[in-house]
Amino acid sequence: MRIIHRLDEMTETARGWLASGTVGFVPTIGNLHDGHMPLVEAAKRECEISVVCVFASPLHFATEEDYAHYPYDVARDLQQLEAARVDVVFLPHAEDLFPEDFSTYVTPSGLLAERLEAVVIPYSLRSAATTITKLFQLVRPDVVYFKQKDAPQVALVRRLVRDLNIDVTIRVLATAREHDGLAMDSLNHLLSPPERQAAANIYQALLEAKALIEQGELHAARIEEAMRKRLASSAQITVESIDICHPDTFSPVELIEPKTLFLIAARVGSVRLRDTLVWLGDKHWSM
């Protein structure tokens, strides 16, 4: 496993990949868990070269204190990636990617950005767009891998790829889950035992939507009402938003149709969690 820190080394390495086969790329903000491993395994299985980036951008956090307290354990992450036999790990330094005089940002606008700002805070939106664009420039991947539960980021990257003519294929894999359906997340360990038990209701609310659709209910308002009722059964959960929308535009839908996205953003205690499912049509789902 090769570890690259310097931007110029990453650029030079990427130049040499043109004749070596396809490059599969998994961007992460570190604190890796079992939910990341299916992405890594898919990159290794489907591409000749697998690259994982471990980088928590300072732009991703509201304050320097939040950035300093993010559970960032590079040594543990590297152990997991070594065990997974990843080809290259890109570990850029924040001061190199974003020096003090950095002043050029990718700032999404328009209806998609407005909709995404309802489910991700604005500075994260600009951060995600700027960071992923820089990483694409440096790594030059052929395929990039995301989890289904990261639907807002996927929508953003799809728009970036289209608008900026970035030559990369986006692969979205099913969300890895705990035994009770809770989506695996780097923040799950911060939940107290009662909060952890309550958090499983987020997944159950999605299953409530799934069951209603398979029974023939297609009115978004009625399905959302049932989802909120399920979430309200736990006092530990504070719902921030429930979106029933198109996965690429995040435009809300009134009548459910194939490819409709269901997204729940909620706080369980102090931890913000998010989960999604997509109805593909008939009894086919992406979860």
User: Nearest CA to 24 among 134, 146, 157?
Assistant: 146
CA atoms within 13 A on the CB side of 249: 8
- Which amino acid would we find at residue 273? L
Angstrom distance (rounded) from CA 280 to CA 62: 36
Q: Which amino acid is at 253?
A: V
Query: One of 5, 33, 36, 246 is an active-site residue; which one?
Result: 36
* Distance from C-alpha of 276 to C-alpha of 262, rounded to nearest angstrom: 5
Let me know if 246 is a catalytic residue.
no
Given the DSSP bridges, would you call strands 2-4 and 23-28 parallel, antiparallel or unpaired? unpaired
Structure tokens at 170: 């986006």
Q: What are phi and psi of 279, to 5 degrees?
A: -85, 120
* Buried/exposed 34-57: b ≥16 CB within 10 Å, e otherwise: ebbbbbbbbbbeebebbbbbbbbb
Name the one residue in this structure whose structure tokens are 């913000």: 272
Residues with catalytic roles: 36
